[in-house]
Amino acid sequence: MRHLLPSTLLIAAVFAFHAFALQIPFLGNRLYSLEENTRTATAFKLRHVFHHGTGANATLHRRLDVPKSHAFEAGISEFYLSSVSKNVTRLSQRDPDFMESYLAYTRRPNSIKITDFDWIHERVRTPNISDPETLGTLARMTADAYVAVPASKDWVDVGEPYNETLGFGWDDKGVRGHVFADDENKTVVVAIKGTSSTLFDSDGDTVSNDKINDNLLFSCCCARISYIWTTVCDCYQKSYTCSQTCLEDALYAEDKYYRGLLDIYRNTTSLYPTATIWLTGHSLGGSMAALLGRTYGVPTVAFEAPPERLAAQRLHLPFPPVPANESTIWHIGNTADPIFMGVCNGPSSACWVGGYAMETQCHSGLECIYDTVKDKKWHVSVSSHRIRAVIDMIEAYNNTPPCVERSDCQDCFDWEFV
């Protein structure tokens, strides 16, 4: 249950997814400390899977705890993540109650646009994105989030009680987060599940719901790219004219993925209140991780994520007033992936044919782009979007690419939002 602060208090404050996962074993993490000359190794293990319902089951939220007695002995025995200390600018107050109250406030009619946030500057540990092994490990963690969830009686209700008469299957609808933690619970990594689709060779039971969220997040106006398309919201008014308020409300709706992720983050931080949180994800999961990372100012590594800056602006997420190189949101992608590059659109594209209205082109944060077309002679294809291709790509390079802000980017320039 969310507890919203009174708007006056809020304004004043502002102005002041278990056994299935064992199939992909993640055992280790080595954190390289810049403040210490020694290297310390601790084990990163899958601790929980959160699954949040959407649509008619939006109030359902459950957690599956993975017993520590499960030994990850098969396959790769150990993974390593390196970290660095980085200057970060983020909101001084960013607990879930405050942030959800702020987000709810921005939805109110005639609400005052808040721009003068109370920012703080601090040093935090972040993933070392210049280390290929670290990127490869995070990519494998995101791959784990795609593993199918078998039936289990061990789910714990953290939302409204599960009613079996609804016919709700845990793989049927919803958003999923896999929570990994080190032995001392100092660092927690949450991997968000991405899009399941035959288009990306990852078919699954969440396909229809994933497509609705994709088309809402990455289209200019509810996937209204042609009169023959079925829209995912009712914000279209007339030719190239769309209701801005309607779009904002649709993105923040209770039955959409973003709201589900807010609950997953809230419950993760309640389990690990003193831990440093990192987020990661692939495809839709990467974009959702980036939105969540921007909401709470936590380090995020997104793989082949569709451009999400427009969605972040529509949700009124906080953008720190700092140079781009101080961002802690990194978008890892490659030039052969038309979805990441924002060019998978138009009647001849695979996305259009598959029913995906991928119109946005701008990422928030930094883009770290492998030039696989030039370096590896990859052909531009949605097959380059797959998480398996990402893992192979990272392993094929000795170094990671530079991470820069794309400044010459504009989304939906031919639309008017009223």
Q: Which residues are marked as active site?
A: 283
Distance CA 356, CA 344 (A): 9
- The strand pairing partners of 331, in sequence order, are 302, 367
Distances (CA, A) of 74 to 17, 21, 22, 77, 78: 20, 12, 9, 7, 10
Sheet holding 416-417, edge to edge: 236-238, 241-242, 416-417
Radius of gyration of the chain (CA): 20
Q: Coil, strand, or helix at residue 315?
A: coil
Q: Coil, strand, or helix at residue 153?
A: coil
Within 10 A of 353 (CB to CB), how many other CB atoms are there? Answer: 10
Q: Coil, strand, or helix at residue 62?
A: strand
Fill in the DSSP letter of residue 417. E
Distance CA 338, CA 150 (A): 33
Q: What sign for the dihedral angle of Cα 206, 212, 217, 219?
A: positive
Q: What sign for the dihedral angle of Cα 317, 318, 323, 329?
A: negative
* Residue 129 tokens, joined: 């994105």
- The strand pairing partners of 179, in sequence order, are 48, 190
